[in-house]
Chains A and B, each alone.
Chain A
Amino acid sequence: MSGPALVRGALVLAVVLTIAGAAAGHAFLDRAEPRVGGRVRTPPAQVTLWFTERLEPAYSRVQVVSQAGQRVDKDDGAVGGDGRQLRASLTPLSPGTYRVVWRVLSVDTHVTEGDFTFQVAP
Chain B
Amino acid sequence: MTYYAALGAIEQGLVYGIMVVGVYLTFRILDFPDLTVDGSLPLGAAISAVAISHGMNPYLSLLLALAGGFLAGAVTAILNTKFNILHLLASILTMIALYSINIRIMSGPNVALLNATTVFDSVTGLGIPAQYAGILIFGLFSVVVVVLIVWFLSTELGQAVLATGDNPQMITSLGVNTHTIIILGVGISNALVALSGALVAQNQGAADVGMGVGTIVAGLASVIIGETVFGCRTIGRAFTSALLGSVLYRLAIALALGMRFGSFQFNPSDLNLITAVLVVCALITPNIKKRFLRR
Q: Do A and B come from one complex?
A: no
Chain A residues within CB distance 8 Å of chain B:
none
